[in-house]
Structure 1
Amino acid sequence: MLTSVWQQLTLSTLTLEQWREASVLHRLLAPLRQWRQGSWLLRWGDWIGLAIVVVLFALAPYVSTTLIGVLLLAAAALWALLTLTDEAGPGLSPVHVAVAVYWGIMVLATALSPVRGAAVTGLIKLSLNILLFLLIARVARQPRARGLLILAYILTTLPVAVYGLRQYFFGATALATWVDAESAVADVTRVYSFLGNPNLLAGYLIPGIMMSTVAVFAWPRWVPKGLALLAALINTMCLILTLSRGGWIGFLIAGFVLMILVVQYWSIWFSPFWKRWALPVLLGGAAAVVVLGVISVDSLRARVLSIFVGRADSSNNFRMNVWAGVIDMIRARPVLGIGPGNDAFNSVYPLFQRPRYTALSAYSVFLEVLVEGGIFGMLAFLWLLLLLFHQSWVQLQRLRESQDAQGYWLIGAIASIAGILGQGIADTVMYRPQISTLWWMAIAIVASYYPAQQILGKRSFKLQQD
């Protein structure tokens, strides 16, 4: 009974391969498929899609959100063109279904929003991110394409992190009051690199650290391994110097998830002794290093301890007052919320805010989901997370049997998701385009592994496996 319920909940028994073949819409689009066969440009459609995504991630830390939006629009248009003219075949996964349900609830929340115009703007932004997810999930099914995409992101993080380190050593002007003026670290430089905000920089670097770390194991040659190790170290140093408490929490959660999955992936080769003790030894050693670092470095210790002083810290006090207003917003519209986006939030929050505590977001991803989509939105979001972790685990066990190097990218993706969520406990930088695109990239990488045995050779991406 419980097994059957679990299979239904995780869509384990759902068959998606024949859906498009039986679709009336798919048959009506037959002329477009014939046109595509005669198009020289569309033969390279997946190459073009990869190029657009690579350009998007390469430019995201440096350019305005307007240009990021233009690139997202280009990615969305290409995905629509490729999908509408594609032959029937594997393409959907349970993750796609959960994303569609989440988007559908946000559409309904927008339609019923008390600030419909503002919510439409947020829905458009969400839709562009989801269309990016769809394009990446399509392109990343080919192992080499997946590797090239991740390589592009890792290389992009290097100048971002190096510039952040330069700010630490040579100084940087704080663009806002990021530290309690009465704190012991009030005069310490918080680096922000090209992104203009330490918390945003920390969120940007978390997936970079995870992907760089797994690249050390995934890449076969020593020079790329050295580059990946260098990127992981530089990104980690820069993240620490952001002094972002939420970023640190996300980094620790992501790191522990990565270690657990890597040890489980390797355990097929372990002796009975190490199968039992490898994980406790590794986690215990990592925890000891973290504790020793916090005890030894004054600025780290002061920032960590400030998490536990409650309202005595001005940042904590600010968040608590914002959360109080946000909870009142949720109580006012608990079922479907106010609709997606910061414009909708900014239109409604002033009616509930505490005096002098203006805010641009809920300062918690989970509260933000409840505000935007209500209980139904939160249930859809949690279901998406459930399917993500379930699908990643199932596919990881399949890859584990052959110790396929592609399994490391899956580990990096799920650790990145966990890390972004960890930071999102008390922050909402996930909704900034520099990080929202990484969030949907990680989800797309997980979705791209399903069903892997039926994908190769079906697409226009004529690349060989590594």
Structure 2
Amino acid sequence: MFKRSCIINSCLYLWNSSLTARLLSAFWLAVTGCWQSGFVYHTVAADVVAQSFLYRQFNRLTGKIEQLMPRTALAVRGFYWQNGPGMITRPVFWYLIAGIVLLTAIPAAFIDRQAALTIAAGVLTMAVVFAIPESGLYLAALLLPFTSFNNLALLGVLTALAYSARVIAGGKVELCRSSILLPVLIFFAVLVYGTVTSVLPRSSAYEFSIYVAAVIYLFLIINMIDNKQKLSLLLGCLALSAAAVAADAIYDYYFGVTFVDLHKGWVDPELNPDIKNRASAVFENPNLLAQYFVLVIPITASLIAVVKRIGYKFLLLAIACLAGTALVLTYSRGGLYGFVFAMAVLAMIRGPKFLPLFFAAAVIGAFFLPHTVIDRLATADNLNDSSVVYRFDIWKSTLMMIKDYWLTGVGVGTEAFMRVYYVYMMNSAIMPHAHNLYLQLLSETGIFGLAAFLLLMYKIYQTVFRLVSSKLSYIKWLNAGIAGAMAGFLLQSLFDYGLWYYKLGVLFWILIGVYIVLEKLNAREKGAVFDGENPQGQGK
């Protein structure tokens, strides 16, 4: 250590006595001297800006805005004061907005309008997320079906940085030790191994990034959503987003492609000649869209029972009906069966007294189903249906592949799956996935990946049954709604695979994060110390 210290001191002495160091020092002194003798420095030092006419008018304008929108102003101040020291204060917030307008207006004069709007949206998003980190989660919930994966991942990283800045500035951190987290980490570790040992590591790395983004959102939700108001707002954003998707799907069904342009694998024209189209909207595939609605509709239904205001109840009811209509127009047999199962699980978990209500709603709903939907559902076990036949071929081919790769799989992602699948395929079509979640996990990550996933599902439903006994109606309803959504998704996943698609993959992990939040809120309401497995003060 003494020799190393002598060497460092010698190097510093040589640098300080060198000509280069002296020239740099003289240059810095000259620059600082010019700045201190300049007009701008004296203007700032004399506080001329604070006394100027423009400054006073700007403060007057922002004051008028706050008078016109008192609730918004109060909410902004509340976020800054409640979320810990070191965050942006109210006056700085308005100056920041003004600066954003100027910074985006200047380049708008030199570049096209779309690029200028993109820059403005990006800068405004950064400003709002760093001012109110929770807004990143709400924005992600709203934009999830519509934005690209790169934008969604970037928003997640930005929100994580904003949350980290809050913590560094002195914000409160509540450690979470839920029993669900260990299976999440085990499954994630298996995915890492499957990516490294993949037959196509580069392609697997890209698809692995979807899981990384999803887990980032999961941990952000666990740490940032710390009360039922924030949780309701997050789930409300998911419901509003679903309303926009449903409206787009209905429009897509009536004004989209014709039957001639419809994908041949989506419907058998001989068995279902009356089906002229299937809604797909921004998901580009009716089965993926159906999986999305299976996850979202039960949550929206549980929110109807949770919210207090009649207006919000009618709004959520309208969203649920709109989404249900769009689900029917997908003509997805797995999606429709999954939805019915999801609502049945919701009713069973909420309590036996809700089962008659479920059966009554199911009977009434069946009367309103078009005959084309009923005919479509009746072909689910028809071995003459082309889509049924090709699924059986895919499953047989995948099982043959699993026999050779059962231990570690071929690697994460659809590209790695296709790279090996063509050797085993029974027909001439190379499929991107196995059309079965459980076979896909076996083929990608081997027996360890499937075991880790099943362990995760076991721990989740262990939490579900623990929350059934909660004394809080809010937690009971959301617990039942999300449990139903997950159950419907898992049933539909027997016939399809949607986790490869980033919109469904991220949403699925967001709901897992919501479960941990429910567990945390339930323990907090009981005055317990939350440790996930057995909160202290509970079960004694």
TM range (shorter): 0.7 to 0.9
Where does the alignment leave 5 or more consecutive residues of structure 2 unmatched? Answer: 1-82, 90-127, 530-540
TM-score in terms of structure 2 length = 0.68
| CA displacement at 1:144 relative to structure 2 | 0.8
SS at match of 2:469: helix
Change (3 A) 1:256 1:454: closer
Change (3 A) 1:194 1:110: closer
Match of 1:325 in 2: 397
Change (3 A) 1:186 1:68: farther
1:369 to 427, 432, 441: 441
Match of 1:97 in 2: 182
Supply the distance in 1 between the matched residues of 2:460 and 2:209 (Cα, whole angstroms).
Answer: 24
Supply the distance in 1 between the matched residues of 2:163 and 2:521 (Cα, whole angstroms).
Answer: 20
- Is 1:416–1:442's contact at 8 Å kept on the other side of the alignment? no
Supply the distance in 2 between the matched residues of 1:115 and 1:164 (Cα, whole angstroms).
Answer: 35
Change (3 A) 1:83 1:392: farther
Supply the distance in 1 between the matched residues of 2:131 and 2:491 (Cα, whole angstroms).
Answer: 34
| CA displacement at 1:165 relative to structure 2 | 2.1
Q: After TM superposition, list the pairs within 5 Å mapping 1:455-466 onto structure 2.
A: none
2:302 to 214, 220, 228: 214
Q: After TM superposition, list the pairs within 5 Å mapping 1:278-293 onto structure 2.
A: 278=353, 281-289=356-364, 292=367
The answer to which of 149-158 and 70-79 deviates more is 70-79
Match of 2:198 in 1: 113
Supply the distance in 1 between the matched residues of 2:167 and 2:189 (Cα, whole angstroms).
Answer: 20
- Is 1:121–1:343's contact at 8 Å kept on the other side of the alignment? no
1:395 to 467, 470, 483: 467
TM-score in terms of structure 1 length = 0.79
Supply the distance in 2 between the matched residues of 1:197 and 1:52 (Cα, whole angstroms).
Answer: 28
Q: In structure 1, what residue type is equivalent to 2:145?
A: P
1:409 to 472, 478, 494: 478
Change (3 A) 1:48 1:318: farther
Q: In structure 2, what residue type is equivalent to 1:190?
A: R
Deviations 1:153-192 (A, max 9, x none): 1111112212222334445445523211222245422112
Deviations 1:389-446 (A, max 9, x none): 1112212312xx2x43233222222111112212211111233112112211111111
| CA displacement at 1:102 relative to structure 2 | 0.8
The answer to whether residue 390 in structure 2 is matched with residue 305 in structure 1 is no
The answer to whether residue 314 in structure 2 is matched with residue 241 in structure 1 is no
Match of 1:176 in 2: 263
| CA displacement at 1:286 relative to structure 2 | 4.6
Deviations 1:306-350 (A, max 9, x none): 11112x111111111111221122111111212222222232222
Q: In structure 1, what residue type is equivalent to 2:457?
A: L
Q: After TM superposition, list the pairs within 5 Å mapping 1:108-257 onto structure 2.
A: 108-170=193-255, 172-173=257-258, 174=261, 176-177=263-264, 178-185=266-273, 187-257=275-345
How many aligned positions are there?
Answer: 404
Supply the distance in 1 between the matched residues of 2:416 and 2:166 (Cα, whole angstroms).
Answer: 33
SS at match of 1:359: coil
Q: In structure 2, what residue type is equivalent to 1:359?
A: M
Q: In structure 2, what residue type is equivalent to 1:285?
A: A
SS at match of 1:449: helix
Q: In structure 2, what residue type is equivalent to 1:52?
A: G
RMSD: 2.9
- Is 1:215–1:228's contact at 8 Å kept on the other side of the alignment? yes
Structure of higher CA gyration radius: 2
The answer to whether residue 514 in structure 2 is matched with residue 445 in structure 1 is yes
| CA displacement at 1:223 relative to structure 2 | 0.4
Q: In structure 2, what residue type is equivalent to 1:212?
A: T
Deviations 1:233-280 (A, max 9, x none): 11111101110112112211111111112235xxxxxxxxxxxxx355
- Is 2:249–2:326's contact at 8 Å kept on the other side of the alignment? yes
| CA displacement at 1:453 relative to structure 2 | 5.6
Deviations 1:333-380 (A, max 9, x none): 111212222222232222222231211111111111111221111111
Q: After TM superposition, list the pairs within 5 Å mapping 1:327-366 onto structure 2.
A: 327-366=399-438
SS at match of 1:250: helix
Supply the distance in 1 between the matched residues of 2:290 and 2:279 (Cα, whole angstroms).
Answer: 9
Change (3 A) 1:280 1:345: same
Supply the distance in 2 between the matched residues of 1:367 and 1:169 (Cα, whole angstroms).
Answer: 35
Q: In structure 2, what residue type is equivalent to 1:358?
A: I
Change (3 A) 1:65 1:90: closer
Supply the distance in 2 between the matched residues of 1:360 and 1:115 (Cα, whole angstroms).
Answer: 14
